[in-house]
Structure formats: structure tokens, C-alpha cells
Chain A
Amino acid sequence: MTQTQSPWRYVGIAIVLLLFALPPIWLFLSSLKSQSEIFQWPPSLWPQAPTLQSYYDTFSRANFLLYFQNSAVVAVLSAVLAVTISVMAGYALAKFRFKGDTVFFLLIMSALMVPLQIVLIPVFLVLRDLGLLNTLAGLIIAPAATPSGVFLMRQYILTIPDSLLEAARIDKTPEWRILLRIIVPLALPAIGTLLAFNLVYRWNDYLWPFLIITEQEKWTVQLALANSVGRFGIDWPRLLSISVMSVLPMLVMFIALQKTLMNGLMAGAAKE
């Protein structure tokens, strides 16, 4: 891409920053306020008496670190599993002609068209029959197949030239090596995006944990977050502080992932 920087570009970037950064900043600033200051009118733009009380309260309940740990285990394992099988399936659908390929593709896509909210009860019974209720394993395995991930990988792998694969096949490279040594490195930008997406999705997911987990020791952060909404009102400081804390790991992950990806891309470009 061209690297010339016009002043319009900076204007555009400034607008983008304003629109996307302000709500999260407001979220963060509000998390430093007490419940009464949150609802003060006129609102205080800057916290008048900034306090970390709600963060302290959240952390002083010892279990919160456990919820974090549960979420992390589930998100990481589930995302890795999801990306792995999505790359496999996406590759199959993009680069092979085989009997029933269209049917398989549509079958996978059709799974995307069923909102989980609607099939809650049948899914619950399946989970029970497989003995996955109230287990982190259930949380990791049950949602691991993601049609959108398969689709994303298929579309990206479509752009990889067939000639590379044919050359490898003429060299009698085994198929698994073609996948690992050619497809995976070339699809790295899409894999990175998909990994980020899956981590975020699994980390933020509420419905599956709600369905599967009953014991408090196995709660994820989102279950704890949802519990800020009581029968007669919302515990705003708690909700805001947990929201902020639950985003931090995602932020760190994204920054790290972006850096690795960028380096990978540059290295790839340098080789060419």
C-alpha cells in the first residue's frame, strides 16, 4: 500500500479516535465513581472523588481471581481448539473438490443460522446426556466449532494460489506438511484475526456458561458480571469495575497479538 500521509488522513484518524475512544473512557472514568456520583446530575465529567473502592470490593471477594482463571482457561483452550479445527475445515472447503463439498459447506453455514437462545433446552439436554454440565470441559468443547471461523478461513485460503500447492504435491510433500508448512504460514493474518476474535468471543460469552455452569467455583467473569443485576436494581460500581477489569486481558492480548502479527508480516515481506 502507498505510504503517503495526507493531512486528511490525520483528520480522519482524529474523528475515528473520538468516536471509538470516548465511550470506553467514560466507562473507565465512571468506574472510579461512587454509585451516587454515577447518577449525579449534572454529571461530573471527571470523577470528583476518584475511588478504587469498587475495584477493591471486587477483588476482596477472593473468588474473583478464580473466575478470572476459569475464564482464561476456557477462553484460551477453546480459542486454540476453535482456530485449529477452523483452519482444517476452511482449508478442506477452499482447496479440495470432493463428493458433498457444497453440502458440507452449507451444513456448516446452516449452524450459524440457529440462534443459541432458541435451542437452549435441546442443547441443555445434549449437554446433560454427554455429562458436560457443570464442567469447564463442557465450556471448552461445546462451542468450539465456529461456522464463522470456518468461513473466514475458507475465504482467506481461497486467495492462496493453487500453484503453490500443486508444486508441493509434485514434490510428493505429504498432505499434512502442505497444511502446516504452506497454508498455515500464508494464512497467518487471518489466523491471527480469528484467534483474537475467538478469544474475545469465548471470554465475553455469557450464554454457554449460563447454560452449563451452576457451581460458583466454576463461574466465569461474565457470570459474575451478570450477577450485578439484581431483582430491584443494578449495582453500577460493581458492574463497571468488573467490565473494565474483564476488558484488560483482552486489550493486552490484542496488543501482543498485533505486534507478533506485524512482525510476522514484515518478516514475510522481507523474505520476498
Chain B
Amino acid sequence: MANPVQTQPAPRRWSLGRLGRVAWPYLLLLPTVALLFIFTIYPLLQGIVMSFFTRGIVVVPQVESTHPVFVGLDNYTHLLGDKNFQVALLKTIGFVVVAVPLQLAVSLALAVLLAPQSRVNAFVRTIVFFPSMISMLIVGVIWAWLFGRNSGLINYVLSLFGIGAVPWLEDELLAQIAVVIVWVWGGAGFNMMVLIAGLTAIPSDLYEAAAIDNTSRWRQFTRITVPLLQPSIVVVVVLGIIEAFKVYELVVSLTTGGPGRATVYLIQNIYETAFRTVNQAGAAAAQSVVLFIILMVLTILQLRFARKRS
């Protein structure tokens, strides 16, 4: 691959400073870290500071009630008595626990089913990826409409078979299930592609050897596919958990948090606290910090676990 004649001058150039070699990984990281710092981490730090104050989401000098007042940990201790927050947090955890494993199972099944290169598979992959091409807002709108109790297609089709109208979105439990189904539907395509990319990296001679040994399909899957696919599975699970904790746009367009408050998850609760109540920005920031800590701990644990296994 590398032409030795061409690379001849290279050592001299690089040895001019060992600095270059030491700096290389930092240079590679620089654009990402700089952009993230400016547009995400710096605002996040402001959010953390905000959580120790009561203040408006916007501080207007002329409006006294929006001015920041330092309150120490009050915003955090208040969360202990905030029923809306606690219910939203528990519901969110429930959602993550159900939706993430389901999504992994579905995407893994799809990936194994559709990974072999053929025309049919390429076509089906495109169809499965289709929902991932639509914004979550539109995905929610389409399904809200399909699930409609009195005007939805699904209930109409059921009625042809003599089945009465199902309150998909109007029943507390069914609405939560509906959010899980649509979330998995919307994200399966992307995760399938991640896993297929991972599958292509598994050397095919492993399967050939297994086939010669008459190893069953299931054993091939558990002994070869899953262990070697682990880095990609980690991507699906880690990103899945973070995304599931942040579920918002889909819910807003699918159920708007209803029936009642049955599908109000954490982000919606934070958003409404910050923007739709007066001068509660500090409380909303405290809720965000709690979410942040949960996600950070979960991510570190998962990565530790993944490293140990590999």
C-alpha cells in the first residue's frame, strides 16, 4: 500500500518535532470538541449554574421576578416532593426498560435477516430504513392518525372484522405501549444499518468453519455473531438508552403527553417547567441535571462492562 520512495522524506518531517506525533490525536479531536464546547457544553454549564437559582428562563432586567436569586440546593430538595417530576421520571425509566431491549431485538433480527447482499434484501432494507428518513414529528403525526379511535385506519380495519374501536391513544396503558411501538418502528431502520455495517466486518470464514462443523444456526448466532458484533451492539444500546431517555418530539406529536398526563416523559416535563410556568427555570435546570447524571452513570457503567467483556 504505502510506497517506500514516497514516504522517504516523511520521517524527517515528522521527527522535526515529536510534538507532532503527540499532538496528532488532539488535533483529530479538536474540531469536534471545539464545536461541542461552544454549542453544547458551554450552554450545559450555564444550565448547571442555573439549577442553584430561582429565575426566569429569560432574565429581563426590567422584570424583577425573572432576576436570579441564589437558593443553594433548594431546587434539588424540592424535586423530592415534586410528584409530576417523579411520575415522569418513573414513566421514562419504564419506557427505557421496555423500548430499548425491544428495539435491540427487532434491529438485530432485521440485520441478520437482511444482511446478505441480494436485490430483494436491498429493497427491503430501503423500506425498513424509510421510517428513519422521516422526522420523528411526522412519524408521530402519521401514527396518531392511524391509531385514531374514531377516525383511524387501524380501528376501521378492525371494525371490518367486527372488532370494536380500540382506544389506542386514549387508554393509559395502551398509549404507553403505542409510544414504544412507534419509537421502535421509527428507529429500527437506523439501528439495523449500524448492525449490518458491523456484520460485514465479521470474517465469513468463521461461518464457513462453523458450517463444516455442523453448528446449528442458533449457535452460530450466539457464539459468533453476537460476540463479534459486540462493538456495534454497544452503539445501539448506549445510544438507544440516551435517545429513549430523551424521547420528546415523538410523544408530542403522537399523544401530546396524554391521556391526561399518562405519557408525559421527562423531557416534556422539563420543557413545560422551564417554558410554560413562570420563573421555574431553576427547577427545570435541576431536573435536567438529574437526567444528565443518570445518563452519565449509565453510560460509564455500560462502557466499563463492554470493555471487560471484550
A residues within 8 Å of B by Cβ? 1-3, 9, 12-13, 16-17, 19-21, 23-24, 26-27, 39, 41-43, 85-86, 88-89, 91-93, 96, 98, 101, 104, 106-115, 117-119, 121-123, 126, 130, 141-145, 147-148, 150-152, 155-156, 158-159, 168, 171-175, 177, 179, 181-182, 189-190, 192-193, 196-197, 200, 204-206, 222, 225-226, 239, 243, 247, 250-251, 254-255, 258-259, 262, 265-266
Nearest chain B CB to A245 CB, angstrom units: 12
Q: Tell me the complex Cα distance, A190–B135, Å.
A: 22
A251 and B2 in contact, given A98-B25, A110-B44, A123-B39 (Cβ under 8 angstroms): no
Q: DSSP class of B's interface residues: helix, strand, loop or mixed?
A: helix
User: Please, which residue of chain A has its CB at the minimum distance from the CB of B121?
Assistant: A13
Q: How many residues of B contact A (CB 8 A)?
A: 102
Contacts of B200 in A (CB 8 A): 189, 265
**CB–CB B14/A143 < 8 A:** no
Tell me whether B263 is interfacial, beta carbon within 8 Å. Answer: no
Identify B2's interface contact among A93, A144, A171, A247, CB under 8 A.
Answer: A171
Tell me whether B126 is interfacial, beta carbon within 8 Å. Answer: yes
A182 and B39 in contact, given A43-B156, A85-B31, A265-B117 (Cβ under 8 angstroms): no
* CB neighbors of A among B21-61 (8 A): 21-22, 24-26, 28-29, 31-36, 38-44, 46-47, 57-58
**CB–CB B199/A118 < 8 A:** no
Contact with A along B222-236 (1 / 0, CB 8 A): 000000000110110
Q: Tell me the complex Cα distance, A264–B24, Å.
A: 29
**CB–CB B130/A111 < 8 A:** no
* Residue from B28, B41, B129 whose CB has the most chain A CB atoms within 10 Å: B28
Instruction: List 19 additional contacts besides A24-B130, A255-B126; criterion CB under 8 Å.
Output: A2-B211, A12-B113, A20-B131, A24-B131, A26-B146, A88-B31, A92-B25, A106-B300, A111-B44, A121-B58, A123-B43, A144-B35, A156-B201, A173-B2, A177-B2, A182-B1, A189-B200, A193-B193, A226-B137
